[in-house]
Structure 1
Amino acid sequence: MTWDLHKLFQKHSREINRFLRRRGHTPETAADLTHDTFLRVLVSAPKESEGEDNPRAYLFKVSKNISLNYQRRERLVRFADLDGDDVGELVDPAPSAETVVYSRQCLDQVEVALAELPERTRKAFEMSRLGERTIADISKELNLSKTRTWGLIHEAYRHLLKRVDDF
C-alpha cells in the first residue's frame, strides 16, 4: 500500500492542526506536531498486514500519539521562557576550537600573502589597515600621490582576496 503524502497533507493538515489545537497546544506547537505527524507517516507508513486502509484515521491516530508523547515530555521536563537578554547570558562568547584553528590558518595565509607583496605596496596597506592612517598621511610619508597610494592599497586588497580563504 502506498499513500500519496503530498495529497494527504494538502487534504488533512488543516484539520489535524485544528485537532491538535483543540487538545490544548499553542498554534506553533500544533503546527510542529502536524509536521511531525506527516514525517512519522513518511518514515514508517503502516504495513499492508496492519490493515490500515483509512489514511485519515491513521493520521489522526498518529497525531494523537505524538500529542500525548509531547504532553508527557512537557510534564517531565520543565522549560523556562527566556527573553533576548537572558539568552545572551547563556551564550559562551569564546570561539570554538575549530574557529580558533581556522582563524589562525587564515592569519598565516595573510602573513604569507603580505610577504609576497612589493615593499611599498605592503607598507601602504599596513599603514592604512594596521596603522589606521589616512591616504593623505600615507602618501606624504611614501612620497606618492594620493591616487597612487590608493592604487597600492587596492592592489594589496586584490592580492589578499586571491590568496586568503575568507578575507
Structure 2
Amino acid sequence: MNRALTSLAGLLAAALLSGAALAHDFKAGDLRIDHPYATPTRPGLKTGGVYFRGIKNTGTQPDRLLSASTPRAGVVEIHRMQMDGDVMRMRAVPALDLPARTDVPLRHGSPDGHHLMLLELKQPLKDGERFPITLTFERAGAHEVMVWVQTPKRAPSGAGHSHP
C-alpha cells in the first residue's frame, strides 16, 4: 500500500511540474503578462505575430504598452485588428491601453483585438522555439519576456485573420 501511495504521489508531482513547465507568465509591476506566444511562419515570410493569453493590470492605476522589440525582427508594432463587414482590417496603433483591474486579451485569431506585429523577421519562426521580446510600459517600465512559438490548437470562432 505504501509503495502504491508513493508511486501515485510521484505521478501527481510529475504531472503538476510538467503543467507548470508548460504555463509561463511574467510579472512587471502591477502587470501580469500571461503566456506570450507566436505562431510559426512559413519560410520566406518576413512578418509574424506575437500574442498573449492576456495582460492583466492588477493595480489601481492604468498603464499602457508603449513599444516592443526583439532581436528576431527589425521592427515590432502594436496592431489592432477589427472586423469591417466581412473583412479583417489591421492597423498599427501608438500604444495599448491597460486599464486598472482589467485583463486585456491579445489572442491569435480574435476578430477584434490587438497583437504585436513582427516586421523584417530575420528568420522564420519554428514550432517549439523560444525567443525574447522586451515590452516597454508607461508605468511598469521595460521587461523582457520569453515568447514560445507554437501552433494554435484551434482558431477561435470568427477567426479570419492570418499573416500572409
**Normalising by the residue count of structure 2, what TM-score does the alignment of the two structures yield?**
0.22
- Higher helix proportion (structure 1 or 2): 1
Q: If each structure's strand is expressed as a fraction of its own residues, which one has the higher value?
A: 2
Q: TM-score, normalised by structure 1?
A: 0.22
Larger Rg: 1
